[in-house]
Structure 1
Amino acid sequence: MKLYKLLLGVLALPASLNLTTAQQIKPFKKPAYQTKSEKALPYKSYQQDLFKAALFPKDIILPGEFEESQIVAISWSFDYDSTGTPTGADVSSVFGDISAQLANAIQKECAVWIRILNATDSTLILQHMINRGTPLVNYRFMVNAGDDWWTRDYGPMAFYSKNLDSIGFVDMRYYNGRENDNVFPAQLAQAMGYQNYTSPIFCEGGNLMGDGYGRLFFSDRIVDNNIGTVHSPSWTKQETLSTLTNLFNTPDRSNLVSLRCDGGTGHIDLYLKLIDEQTIIASQYPKEITAVDKQIIEDNVQLLTALKSTYNRPYRIVRIEHPTNDIGKHTNLTCTQIDADARNFINGLTVNNSFIFPSYYDGNTGNAAQHQRIMALYKRIMPGYNIVPIDSRDMSPLGGAIHCITMQIPAENPVRIWHPSVDGLVPALPKYHILMKAANKSGIQSASCYWRKNANSTWTNFSLTDSAGYWTGEITNANLTGSDSVEYYLTATSNNGKTVTKPITATKGGYYTMRTQYLSSLNDFVISSDHLFNAYPNPATQKVTISFKLIQSNYTEMQLIDLNGKLVFSKNFGILTEGLHETQINTSELAAGMYLYRLLINNKPMMSKRLVIGNN
């Protein structure tokens, strides 16, 4: 895709721009949620045949937001006249500064496409970016009418089809009363040369999250918004769910209960996010908060723990603390209070090697200690990513944040890699099997694995072998002992000459890491839930040590069971506190063979693993 720029004369502006307060602009800025007056507007009845199913590709792939992007679309914040009508680009308020920070962060990863109301707005924005020391260099302006800047919700859902050779858009129905925003997907499709498929479903992009391999997460707000007279004939719940499956080719659906105090949208992106195809970050409210959303989030997370990723493993779920006020206190405790200022650290944008997230600290005011904890956590669970905070304190009362005002469009000519990672705690083995699948429209020419031990400056690499659609190989002679670790990453090169890495941030220091012992830092993201560690030694003769981690205080029991299902050992610990625990089992009198050891929490089996006993 070629990048075009709208180049106009430069209007000189003062080098120092004073930001007005957001409160001066806020009465005119439309919120992320649908307002009461918009809901009161009469619905137009949309015929089901608006969506021509026969013309829609059958082999589509909805990529994950963590996959490679070619552009990110935004709408620059608007100025308004005295009646609240948008008049042009805002370069003086807090919201205008958020647009500037966002455009600068995005352009370092890919082209930022900026919707503006007037051609002359481009001159204003270009000079503003120069004045603030972050000139635009990787951009395009689109001159179109607009209602506001919630691009995630009215923007297109882009997909791949035709063996990754084509990109198309799913264009869903946005809020009544925001008709200028509703046509943006068609405008973007025309500008990029893609097909735009219009569907009558009422749905916003902030309420959809795909893993790239056929699972779609969303909230029940979508079903609620499509019941009644908005369709002719009216839709049932099943028709709405089937429409989602058919649109995105996602047979695995996770319909979650929507929050009641999230600012008004009911969107999942305010408390959940996939940072890769097997890892979910989820908000966690502190004990002080009494709002009903606290239990809804916990119930939804519990549902997610029962699901398996494309690798047939449970999703890794990392809990992210809830933002405080500026002085480090949780003062928004009730549903009404949280609804009026729906803060979270989740609603961020993943774009290639950067993660841009909502912060509540500007370097001077806000909770500096919490900000530093969140920065450190994201750097740990998203290795290699450039972690970019943007102060979003003026956005959260509007019901949204960074993710809500951005929309990625996936890369052309993608090379997609599927790989069940070998990371976290592993047994000490002579070799570790590496398996991956790779796809590109031209086919895959070669694939390799690069690995090193204990952060050595020299990498060992070997070619993976193409075998029945899989690329395979083995990391050998790692000789892991004690606190040793192995880091590795994969590469794949297509027949048309494109090379990518897995993880995507490998060239920036983002690798898969395996080790045989837990670290002193027990918050490693692969063990951020209740976890049963590998027993050692295994095989065992005289005794075996088993460690486990609890994320909260619970009634706990350890059992050892032979292959006939007979319970041969049980230890009841009673109530154990949050943290790391271990127990030793005397195995000297047990018959040689295979056993299962399992962890029970509140009398429910949570995890089980194999143990070999080598006695005669």
Structure 2
Amino acid sequence: MTASANARALAGLDALFGMGKTPGELGFVMPIETAEHACCWMAWPHDDHPEVWGRSMPAVQRTFVRVASAIRQFEPVKVVAHPDVAADARRALPRTIDVVALPQDDIWFRDTGPLFVKDPDNRIVASRLVFNSWGGKFPDYDDDARVGEALARRLSMPVYVSPLCGEGGGIHVDGKGTAITTETCLLNANRNAGMSRQDVETELFHSLGARKVIWLPGDDAEWITDGHIDGMLTYCAPGKVIFENNPDAANPRHKVCQENLRALRGQTDADGNEIEIGLVDEAYMVEADNDHTALSYVNAYIANGGVVVPCFNTKTDEPARRVFEKGFPGRRIVPVDILDICPGGGGIHCITQQQPA
């Protein structure tokens, strides 16, 4: 297809979305994260929300640069930065990383960026969920509520605007029509009041092409994201996940992990195949800075030829690296210390969003 013909086809899709058609109805599916990427998108940390980062912002920015640089070893990285600080981002980041000036509030681009979906003709469009700052917990995230659609428009992509309220970190997909999510997140009244489980599943089909949704109970004690799935597991391949477990029976996290693991065992994907589960131990010996510190190994970024994995300067880091080496054969495992970002409530997966090739 020529460039002009492709542009006309994409414009036609935008018109179809405007008439009520959806990506799922048109054969679009969100690819698995192990599929080939065109690039990785991130969002520059700045002082828009001092109540989140306080005086730690310089350390957060340094860690952000380390993560972006690690991913850049494998694929292009593009960073959205608020126009007021875009020049600062360009100075701090390596020259091989592009900066795109767009209004944004915080670094959690997994949750605020567009969700890219693809059809059998390799056309890519964006689905945009409603972002209400994780159930309305934080004020002044208006730019982040708009940045996903703004970026897609900048990329000249058609945009499907979903009525579903949620975040990218609350959903994992296998690229073949299976989605995994949690009840504490997408069925929460602070996001989708009045929507039934079936309503949510229907909209996950429309927006992401999910033919089957696997529901885990989640974590109602995790008060920022209400138990995002990307802190619990990651797909290694269709039908295969690494699940993060807490082996310490005296730790409150142990019960939560076991409840979710029991719910996952025996589950089948959209094609009827049972999910294969590998386990990695949490960094359960690290003392959290606050009640929203995120310490998750599976909150990693799967890049072209590599996996950038969080590490926490603790003795569970090396066993976790070995689990990822086994789970992702042929990909180089690159650990990055993210202890300066964790107190904000997320990890490497939370600050990244892949754009499929």
- TM bin, normalised by shorter chain, reads 0.7 to 0.9
Distance 1:151 1:275 in 2: 21
Q: Could you tell me which residue of structure 2 aligns to residue 295 of structure 1?
A: 255
RMSD over equivalenced CA pairs, Å: 2.9
* AA in 2 matched with 1:279: K
Q: Could you tell me which residue of structure 1 aligns to residue 77 of structure 2?
A: 112
Q: Could you tell me which residue of structure 1 aligns to residue 317 of structure 2?
A: 371
* AA in 2 matched with 1:95: V
Q: Could you tell me which residue of structure 1 aligns to residue 28 of structure 2?
A: 60
CA spacing shift, 1:380–1:227, aligned 2, 3 Å: closer
Distance 1:344 1:63 in 2: 23
Q: Could you tell me which residue of structure 1 aligns to residue 6 of structure 2?
A: none
- Is contact 2:180-2:213 (8 Å) kept? yes
**1:470-505 deviation line (CA, Å, top 9, x unaligned):** xxxxxxxxxxxxxxxxxxxxxxxxxxxxxxxxxxxx
Tell me the secondary structure at the aligned position of residue 409 of structure 1.
strand
Q: Which has the larger radius of gyration?
A: 1
Q: Does 1:223 align with 2:184?
A: no
Higher relative contact order (CA 8 A, sep 6+): 2
**1:422-453 deviation line (CA, Å, top 9, x unaligned):** xxxxxxxxxxxxxxxxxxxxxxxxxxxxxxxx
Q: Does 1:136 align with 2:68?
A: no
CA spacing shift, 1:52–1:101, aligned 2, 3 Å: farther
User: What TM-score comes out, normalization by structure 2 length?
Assistant: 0.83
Give matches, 1:145-294, under 5 Å: 145-161=103-119, 163-175=120-132, 176=136, 177=139, 178-220=141-183, 221-224=185-188, 225-228=190-193, 234-262=194-222, 264-265=224-225, 266-291=227-252, 293-294=253-254
Distance 1:227 1:380 in 2: 38
Q: Which runs of 5+ in 2 are unaligned?
A: 4-16
Distance 2:199 2:343 in 1: 34
* AA in 2 matched with 1:136: R
User: What TM-score comes out, normalization by structure 1 length?
Assistant: 0.50
Displacement after TM superposition at 1:60 (Å): 1.1
Q: Does 1:76 align with 2:76?
A: no
Displacement after TM superposition at 1:316 (Å): 1.8
Displacement after TM superposition at 1:167 (Å): 0.4
Q: Could you tell me which residue of structure 2 aligns to residue 408 of structure 1?
A: 354
Displacement after TM superposition at 1:352 (Å): 1.4
* AA in 2 matched with 1:116: A
Larger relative helix fraction: 2
Give matches, 1:474-493, under 5 Å: none
2:310 aligned to which of 340, 351, 358:
358
CA spacing shift, 1:350–1:263, aligned 2, 3 Å: farther
Q: Does 1:304 align with 2:248?
A: no
Calculate percent identity across the aligned residue pairs: 21
* AA in 2 matched with 1:142: V
Displacement after TM superposition at 1:236 (Å): 3.6
Tell me the secondary structure at the aligned position of residue 105 of structure 2.
coil
CA spacing shift, 1:120–1:309, aligned 2, 3 Å: closer
- Is contact 1:227-1:237 (8 Å) kept? no
- Is contact 1:103-1:112 (8 Å) kept? yes
CA spacing shift, 1:340–1:191, aligned 2, 3 Å: closer
CA spacing shift, 1:240–1:400, aligned 2, 3 Å: same
- Is contact 1:51-1:198 (8 Å) kept? no
- Is contact 2:205-2:211 (8 Å) kept? yes
CA spacing shift, 1:55–1:250, aligned 2, 3 Å: closer
- Is contact 1:91-1:125 (8 Å) kept? no
Displacement after TM superposition at 1:322 (Å): 1.4
CA spacing shift, 1:253–1:207, aligned 2, 3 Å: same
- Is contact 1:261-1:342 (8 Å) kept? no
Larger relative strand fraction: 1
Displacement after TM superposition at 1:91 (Å): 11
Distance 2:340 2:148 in 1: 27
Q: Could you tell me which residue of structure 1 aligns to residue 14 of structure 2?
A: none
- Is contact 1:77-1:148 (8 Å) kept? yes
**1:86-118 deviation line (CA, Å, top 9, x unaligned):** 9xxx99722101211122122222221111123
CA spacing shift, 1:390–1:117, aligned 2, 3 Å: same
- Is contact 1:157-1:171 (8 Å) kept? yes
- Is contact 1:341-1:397 (8 Å) kept? yes
**1:104-142 deviation line (CA, Å, top 9, x unaligned):** 1222222211111237633x444434xxxxx332x3211
* AA in 2 matched with 1:278: G
- Is contact 2:311-2:336 (8 Å) kept? yes
Tell me the secondary structure at the aligned position of residue 47 of structure 2.
strand
Distance 1:235 1:311 in 2: 26
CA spacing shift, 1:68–1:241, aligned 2, 3 Å: same
Displacement after TM superposition at 1:249 (Å): 2.2
Distance 1:290 1:84 in 2: 29
Displacement after TM superposition at 1:55 (Å): 5.8
Q: Could you tell me which residue of structure 1 aligns to residue 338 of structure 2?
A: 392
Tell me the secondary structure at the aligned position of residue 106 of structure 1.
helix
Displacement after TM superposition at 1:191 (Å): 2.1
Displacement after TM superposition at 1:164 (Å): 2.8
Displacement after TM superposition at 1:173 (Å): 0.6
CA spacing shift, 1:75–1:91, aligned 2, 3 Å: farther
Q: How many residues align?
A: 331
Q: Could you tell me which residue of structure 2 aligns to residue 100 of structure 1?
A: 65
Q: Does 1:347 align with 2:314?
A: no
CA spacing shift, 1:80–1:182, aligned 2, 3 Å: closer
